[in-house]
Amino acid sequence: MNISGEYAILFYISCYCLFIRYFIAGVIIMRCPFCGHTESKVIDSRPTDEGSRIRRRRECLLCAKRFTTYEIVENLPIVVVKKDKSRESFDRSKLFNGMLRACEKRPVSIQTLEKAVDEIEASLQNSLDREVTSLRVGEYAMEKLKEIDEVAYVRFASVYRQFKDITSFRDEINKLLSK
Ligand SMILES: [Zn+2]
């Protein structure tokens, strides 16, 4: 390894330490290590191998020099608003179990369901809203199940939508068949 390579590594470590310090202090400031300016733009962003941190290449808006930060992904809690307007924090395992029940005796792997729940959770996390209705969560699940297994979808929909009568149930089935 050449000298500049060693410097680069030392530099990354010091950026990381600097970031952690600000993070602990509760003030997240991305300060340029060259000139101290606090504004920078992100050039490249990718998760680290273990996925818990995001490595970002930044460019200082003042001196235009580039540096790397390692940022910790903070998962904010998502609040689910139920039909009776009461609130509870989003429970991933509850969603998973509901979908699993709908897939009973169907050729759907646990991995497929895990992936679907991951995607739903990511959609919720990416939304700017910290509150989501239980109805919307159910719709997300139905959208996924529709792609995965139609029988599971109808089962889930019948529990979730609580079809008021046989007509609305038939309409849903017809919608599926007409695709
Ligand atoms: Zn700078």
pLDDT digits (tens, 9 = 90+) for 91-119: 999 999 999 999 999 999 999 999 999 88
Which of 53-67, 135-149, 162-176 is predicted with the least confidence, judged by mean pLDDT?
162-176
165 has a pLDDT exceeding 70 = no
Instruction: Tell me how far the alpha carbon of residue 33 lies from the centroid of ligand 1, in angstroms.
Output: 7
Q: What is the pLDDT of residues 57-81, one digit of tens each?
A: 999 999 999 999 887 766 678 899 9
What is the token pair recorded at 21? 């310090």
**How would you classify the pairing of strands 79-81 and 131-133?**
parallel
Cα(51) to centroid of ligand 1, in Å? 28
Report whether pLDDT(134) > 60.
Answer: yes
Q: Looking at residue 22, what is its pLDDT?
A: 47
CA 146 to chain centre: 21
- Please count the residues of the chain: 179
Contacts of 154 (CB under 8 A, 6+ apart): 172, 173, 176
19 CA from centroid of ligand 1 (Å): 16
CA dihedral 64, 66, 68, 71 (to 10 degrees): 20
Ligand 1: distance of its center to the CA of 42 in Å? 13
Q: In angstroms, what CA-CA distances link 176 with 27, 109, 150, 159, 162? A: 51, 22, 8, 17, 17
Q: Please, what sign has the CA dihedral across residues 58, 41, 122, 77? A: positive
Q: Give the distance (Å) from ligand 1 centre to CA of residue 75.
A: 30
